[in-house]
Structures are given as structure tokens and as C-alpha cells.
Amino acid sequence: MPDIAALLQEIADVPHSADPAVVRAKSRDMYAISPLLRKALRGREAEAVVSPRDNHELRAVMRWAVRHRIPLTPRGGGTANYGQSVPLAGGAMLDMTGYTGVVAVSDTNVRVRSGTLMGEIDEVLRAHGKELRIHPSTRSDSTIGGFIGGGSGGMGSCRWGMLRDPGNITAIQVMSVEAEPRLEELRGVDTLLVQHAYGTNGVMTELELPLAPAEAWKEAVVAFPDFMDAARFGIAFAAHPDIARKLASVQEWPVPRLMKNLGDIVPEGHSMAMVMVAGRHLAEFRALVAMHGGRVVTCVAEGRGRYGAPLYEFAFGHALRQIQKHQPRTTVLQGMFPPQELEASVARLHDAMRGVGPLRFEIFYSQGQLVGMGSPYVVFESEAQLAGLVDQMQALGMNVANSHTTGVRAVGIKAIDERDAAFKRAMDPHGLLNPGKLGLEEKESAAVTTLATKGWATKRPAA
């Protein structure tokens, strides 16, 4: 490996740093949420950080990396949970947070530069009466490129589906890592080549995404004495054809008390459903709550709750972060409940996990079907403990993705085939982008944990 710090003078016009504290901070994301990744990725760091602000500077970095065969790990806001932006082969962090700006807004789409924060995009869109369809629980810190490149879904998926579902990404422009870098514009199904690929096969420069009408969102917590009543309500809410919705998350007692910021909003012994609903559909929402025997214990404008953060920061990956503030050994798995028997499969897991830990799951659409994703919360003891839990869940008919490993193929959310391999070879012929992460290289095994997960059963849509 060349002396990267010394070679930075060749790209002196591009913001950069070899300061150990800066490099260490930029070499991390939120992987420590997993006890297994905390161990597997310990000490994995780059040797420098480069922060291009435009295509001219990005091309200079690409040429520099190819000239000296320097690995590059693209990074956005650093909010990923799988170590997507942790370098396995040293090299330089490609910090894209200076590569910002809204390029164009139309009635149907927005085009943005990849380092733009998602919250800032929605601020611009509000002036046009529009909003993004889908965003993560880490919206305030996530860049759009990081979310599309490392994420799979989030708020809005209970209405619009996952990022990979048709119509949720219009176009992605990517730059190759070659002596003469190329810009490629991917549209439609071709965007799935780089979606959830962790920046392994091209550097995202611009993204074009479909818009939805801006809503006056309300966030509500609904309490239920019985967990399965909460589950049935959550499923019915997420499937309701006449309610504009953004979040459906169900958490079993005592999770409402484990999330200390919620205080005593939820009555003792009650499970809860956390939802986001358009203000114009509150009447339909309240009728559905009554039908399922629930009680609305709080309903406020988005971000105005007395729990100190938007309600979506208590769902998806953020739910575990809330609990880990006070119980740092708590962990979860990512099990997918089969769509053809969603309620029954939740009930089976709930019965099987009595005494193991409280259940949680989010409800959303995937490939046109309503699904649930979740598991019990458990206090981590060992990898063998998690392996046994994986076996139990899969024996009950669930598909489990490995949220305690790094690498696209190893995690098991994105299907990898020869098209991905060919695109990787074309865009990154020297194998410099995030080496070891796509699942095509033998190096990946160095940071992969060995839970015997089946992964989520996903199919690439036909071109």
C-alpha cells in the first residue's frame, strides 16, 4: 500500500485530511449497534479522507485512486447499521457530504446531488407542496446517496413499498473508477444495480426520485392491553386503502418502558402501535383504532411530541438505539414475516418467544405484498444464542437477513447475480470501491459473521 498521506499533495485542491482523529471518525458508522460487528470491525480504518465537492474534484480523486491503486470507501452521513461504510482494506474514505444541492424540482420528481441531507431536501420540497416518498429513521443525518446506496426502506414504505420496488427510484447517475472516469445514467430497473450496493460498483453523483404531495403528518401512539390486538391493528392500518400513512410499528410491552424518552405515555402492561397518519385522515384512523379496541394516548403534529424526537426515531433501526441508551446489550434480528399469512406468522412467533423477549415489527409493502419485519428483543449473550434464535425463526417460516454482518450478499437483503458482477467489472475494473463488501470477492469473509440466515426472498424486477 502506498503512503497515502504523502500522495494527498497530488490532489491538494480537493479537501482532504490525514489527521488520525478525523480519519478514525469518518471510518465508522453505526455498526456498534451489533455486538458481533462491534468485534468484527474493530480497528478497521482508512488512512485518509477525501471530500470532493463537484464532478471536477471527484474525477481528480478517481484518477488519483486508479493511478496509485488506492481503495476508496464512499461515505454519506455515517448512519448505516451494517458497517456499509467501514473500510475493510484501508485506503481513503470518499466523504460525499460536501457534494450537495438540489438540482431540479418538477411536479413529479426531484433531482439532487448525492451528499445532500434528506431533511434539507424535504425543506426545499415543502415550498413546492411536495415531499419525498420514503425516508429512514435517521432522516436528520442521512444523505440521499447514503440512504439509497445502503438502505432498503423506511418511513413511507407502508404506502409506497421498499426502495427497490418499481417507481421508487427514477434515475441514478454514477461515476466509474477508471483512469478516465465515466458518468453513467441508470434509469428504471437498472438503478437496482447500485441501490443497496454499499457504493461498491460506482460512486453516486446525482439521484432523481419521485415525489408525493406534502402532507400535514400526525404521529400517534395507540395502546392495547393485548399484543396481538396491536398487531392486528398495525396490519389493518398499513393496508388501509383510504388512509395516507407513513409508519406502522408495533412494540410489545415492556418496550414502551425500555424506551425511556416515552416516559409513561403508554399505560402499564400495554403494547403499542406507533403510526404516522395524514391529518386529513384522522377520522378514519380513529375509527380503525376503535374497531380494534385500542386507545390513542398521544396524537400530535410530526416532531411535536413530548418525547424529544420525531416518533419515527423510535421505529426501525432507531428503536434499538433508543433501548440501547439504557440497556446496551440488547439486540435484535431482521426476520421477514411471510406475506401470505402475516398475522398468523406474527402470532406463531409471539407464542414461541414467550419468555425470550418482547416482540417488535414494522409493517410495509415489498414487491406488492404487505409484509412485516421484526424479531424479539434479546439481551445478547453469545453468537450461538443468536444462531439458535435464527434457527427458531426460520423454522417458523420466516426469512431472516443477517443484520450482524457486513457485505451485500452476506446480509441477504439484495439479490446478487451476474448482472451485478458485470456492472462491477465495468465500473470498477481495478476493484477499488469498498473492497470486500459486494460478495464477489474472497476478502469479504474477513468481516462476515456466520449466522445461518436465509436472507430475504427478493427478486429483481424484469427489465
Q: Which residue type sits at 212? A: A
Question: Which three cell numbers mark 130?
Answer: 411536495
3-state class (DSSP) for residue 218:
strand
Q: Are 83 and 407 in contact (CB under 8 A)?
A: no
Dist CA 271 CA 225 (whole Å):
6
274, with CB counted inside 10 A (0-12, 13-18, 19+), is: buried
Question: Which three cell numbers mark 168?
Answer: 421508487
Question: Which three cell numbers mark 420?
Answer: 451485478
In a domain, 100, yes or no: no
Cα 286-342-355 angle, rounded to 5 deg: 90
Contacts of 81 (CB under 8 A, 6+ apart): 29, 30, 31, 33, 34, 317, 403
In a domain, 13, yes or no: no
1, with CB counted inside 10 A (0-12, 13-18, 19+), is: exposed
The CATH number assigned to the domain holding 283 equals: 3.40.462.40
In a domain, 310, yes or no: yes
Predicted local confidence at residue 445, as pLDDT: 45
Neighbours of 105 (CB within 10 A): 17
In a domain, 302, yes or no: yes
Q: What is the pLDDT along the chain (463 residues), one digit of tens a residue?
A: 678 988 999 999 999 999 999 999 999 999 999 999 999 999 999 999 999 999 999 999 999 999 999 999 999 999 998 899 999 999 999 999 999 999 999 999 999 999 999 999 999 999 999 999 999 999 999 999 999 999 999 999 999 999 999 999 999 999 999 999 999 999 999 999 999 999 999 999 999 999 999 999 999 999 999 999 999 999 999 999 999 999 999 999 999 999 999 999 999 999 999 999 999 999 999 999 999 999 999 999 999 999 999 999 999 999 999 999 999 999 999 999 999 999 999 999 999 999 999 999 999 999 999 999 999 999 999 999 999 999 999 999 999 999 999 889 889 999 889 999 999 999 999 999 999 999 876 444 445 667 999 998 676 666 5
Alpha-carbon dihedral angle through residues 84, 194, 331, 452, given to the nearest 10 degrees: -100
Strands 48-50, 16-17: parallel, antiparallel or unpaired by DSSP?
antiparallel
In a domain, 121, yes or no: no
Dist CA 401 CA 110 (whole Å):
31
In a domain, 326, yes or no: yes
Question: Which three cell numbers mark 200?
Answer: 461498491
Predicted local confidence at residue 6, as pLDDT: 85
Dist CA 148 CA 163 (whole Å):
7
Dist CA 304 CA 298 (whole Å):
11
Angle between helices 227-239 and 342-352 (to 10 degrees): 160
Predicted local confidence at residue 442, as pLDDT: 46
Q: Among 153, 159, 133, which residue's Cα sits nearest to residue 245?
A: 159
In a domain, 354, yes or no: yes
What's the full length of the chain, in residues?
Answer: 463
Report CA torsion sign: 332, 336, 342, 348. Answer: negative
Predicted local confidence at residue 224, as pLDDT: 98
Predicted local confidence at residue 457, as pLDDT: 65
Dist CA 130 CA 267 (whole Å):
37
The count of domains in the chain is 1
Neighbours of 65 (CB within 10 A): 25
C-alpha pair distances (Å), 70 with each of 209, 352, 429: 32, 49, 13
Cis peptide before 254 (omega within 30 of 0): yes
In a domain, 138, yes or no: no
Predicted local confidence at residue 258, as pLDDT: 97
How is 331-379 classified by DSSP, letter by letter?
A: E--EEEEPGGGHHHHHHHHHHHTTTT--EEEEEEEETTEEEEEEEE-EE
Q: Which domain holds residue 306?
A: 217-401
Predicted local confidence at residue 463, as pLDDT: 58
3-state class (DSSP) for residue 103:
strand
Question: Which three cell numbers mark 312?
Answer: 419515527
Contacts of 134 (CB under 8 A, 6+ apart): 153, 154, 155, 156, 157, 160, 163, 168
Predicted local confidence at residue 448, as pLDDT: 61
